[in-house]
A and B are shown apart, each in its own frame.
Chain A
């Protein structure tokens, strides 16, 4: 209830541009679709991914969440985040609110470059600005820093903004198209698995709904044995259908993240998460 009130408030504050109107209509249809498919699942529960639908797996997962394997990553991420660069500055100097409780505003459209920026991208931009080498994109320190920043943003409501700029609208549209396009030798769209088949089994794996998929990234996966970023997961889901994955932080994946996260506007951040 509180959630939906928040949402109404934030929507009415936005300028009524066409881009926003279209994306907002998309998002509303998206949410309505899942509500109809899974009438017993409360909206806020979508942040729990597959566990919102699979009760058996859920209790096991809840037990894991008591002593989550990502705890150490959050701690290490905090240490990395707070350790000064050689020039004495820290990551805090590069972000709004010193980098605390801001995860919900990513990704965003950067007017200067005309492109979508992700949190990971800005972490590396901050390093380079301060004379440090960029980190590898998919795992390791970047995922730990991202995990810490997500952790400080828990319960903040996702608020991805599409400004009134044709380039922003084009980026959103490209991400949306990506999500619905069939690809790979096995001919699957993201939507095939995460819109048309959530709750169903692909072999022994229950498929999660696209709504809420991004809220808990980065994620510690037992399959990886470590924490990894959203784009690492994108690559995995592309490879799974025998499609060539795009590079982490490629324009394609950033635009995908833009659309994908916009669909979860209104849901709270609960990252980092833990998954199979």
Chain B
């Protein structure tokens, strides 16, 4: 796996240097970094701080106000539906304890998008 990523990165670098953009490998590398960004946004106390309330794989000292975030692709048919839940949890549950991250401008739409990529992979 590592070597694949490595070769992709090298390939990307190479194509970049050569100025030739070949799509599939570039996307793969981007997807990975998007996921990584999503993860750090989700874990960052000043951003998503999702660990305050949810158990998430690799997350240290999580709270338990909300359910553990696992098998998300089984829970949500689409990434859009997951995006909607994070953007405004009060739609599904008006009394939700989960902050409406999008509606209250806690996270930008782009940031939520990255978090969705990460959460959907769990």
Contact = CB atoms under 8 A, between A and B. Distances in A.
Interface of A: 185-188, 192, 196-197, 200-205
Contacts of A202: 52-53, 63, 65
B105 A185 contact: yes
Tell me if B's interface is mostly helix, strand, loop or mixed.
loop
B77 interface: no
Contacts of B42: none
Contact of A200 (B65, B99, B100, B106): B65
Given A186-B104, A186-B106, A187-B104, A203 B97 contact: no
B62 interface: yes
B111 to A, nearest CB: 14
A55 B51 CA distance: 23
A192 B97 contact: yes
Contacts of B53: 202
Tell me if A's interface is mostly helix, strand, loop or mixed.
loop
Interface residues of B, number: 15
Contacts of A187: 90, 99-100, 104
A184 to B, nearest CB: 9
Nearest to B49: A203
B73 interface: no
Contacts of B52: 202-203
8 contacts: A185-B104, A187-B99, A188-B99, A192-B97, A200-B65, A201-B62, A202-B63, A203-B51
A197 B65 contact: yes
